[in-house]
Amino acid sequence: MLAEEWDWERNTGEPALSSVAPQHRVAWRCAVCGHAWVASVSERLAEDGGCPECARIARSFQVRRRSRSLTEVAPETAMEWHPTFNGWLRPSDVSADSARRVWWLCRRDHEWKERVRDRTHAGRGCPVCARPWSAPTIPGALPGR
């Protein structure tokens, strides 16, 4: 993981030749969000040595203790959480009451963006599958077939 975040444009030399001494700081670029920062190899090897920007964003969206996560409140809905479009954010990180718009993926592979609370409280599902006239749901609905 460290090697893929080595900033080749800002560093001279190979990652394998870099010192692990705390005073030897090198440049990194996050593989998830693209954030660039400087840290020593030993800092990166520490338990919390990941991207500081991803850590900051994750902290800002952590579920408050008094709120229950989407995973706890609506596990069926949480299963439709888009696995890649929401980046580092997971259903366990957001409150079921959240107004945050996130990406969803239904079991028929339809993708859409909608507020978490609209899924949990309004009971909304996939807008394509919800159409009563949707061709995939009505056998023989396509003319000339």
Closest to 80 measured CA to CA, from 71, 67, 68, 93:
71
Instruction: Please give the distance of CA 26 from its chain centroid, rounded to a whole number.
Output: 27
pTM exceeds 0.75 = no
For residue 39, the SS3 value is: strand
Two tokens, residue 68: 């229950």
Two tokens, residue 137: 């749901």
Q: What is the pLDDT of residues 37-75, one digit of tens each?
A: 999 888 888 767 788 888 877 776 665 545 789 999 999
- Per cent of the chain over pLDDT 90 is 40
Q: What is the pLDDT of residues 101-127, one digit of tens each?
A: 999 999 999 999 999 999 998 888 999
**Residues whose CB falls within 8 Å of the CB of residue 18, separated by 6 or more in sequence, listed in order:** 11, 24, 26, 41
pLDDT band per the 50, 70, 90 thresholds, residue 145 = very low
